[in-house]
Amino acid sequence: MSTTTQPGRPIVAGFPWSLDVTVTRETPFFPSGSTHTAHVRDTPSSGSIRATLTTANGGLTRVDDNTVRLLIPAETSATWKEGSVVLDIVRTDVTPDEYGGFVLTLPVVRSITRGLT
C-alpha cells in the first residue's frame, strides 16, 4: 500500500465535516447499490471506535463508481481532542467483505470560538 498526502480541511471538533474520496482501481469500489462501512479510530490499533460511518446511516454517500462522500456530524466530533483520527472503508455487500486498500489519517483541531449553542 502506498502513501499519498493530499491537502484538505481538518475535522473541526463540534462542527460538521465532509470529504469526497476518489478511489482509482480496475473495478469500481462504489458501484450503484453497494454498501460500505468505515470505523473512525484514534489509531489503527485503538480498541475504541470514535464513529461508525455507513451507507445506511448517511456517513458514507456514493457520489459515483469511484467516489464516496464522508460525513461526520457536529455532535459526533464535539468531544474529540486535537490530534488525528484514522479510518478505512470496507465494502460490505459482497462475500467476503472487500477491503478498500487505503487508510486515511485526518487531522482534528478545536475551534477557538465554540460553545455557542
| 70, part of any domain | yes
* Total number of domains in the chain: 1
CATH number at residue 31: 2.60.40
Tell me whether residue 106 is in a domain.
Answer: yes
Q: Is residue 11 part of a domain?
A: no
Whether residue 84 is contained in a domain is answered as yes
- What stretch of H or E contains 53? strand 49-54
Distance CA 117, CA 8 (A): 27
Q: For position 8, what pLDDT does the model report? A: 76
Cell numbers given for 91: 465494502
Q: pLDDT of 20-44, one tens digit each?
A: 999 988 999 999 999 999 999 999 9
- pLDDT single digits (tens) 72-109: 999 999 999 999 999 999 999 999 999 999 999 999 99
**Is 82 inside a domain boundary?**
yes
In this structure, is residue 40 part of a structural domain?
A: yes
**Residues 104 and 8: beta-carbon distance below 8 Å:** no
pLDDT for 53-69, tens place per residue?
A: 999 999 999 999 999 99
Amino acid at 66: N
Give the domain extent around 103: 16-110
Q: Beta-carbon neighbour count of residue 101 at 10 Å?
A: 12
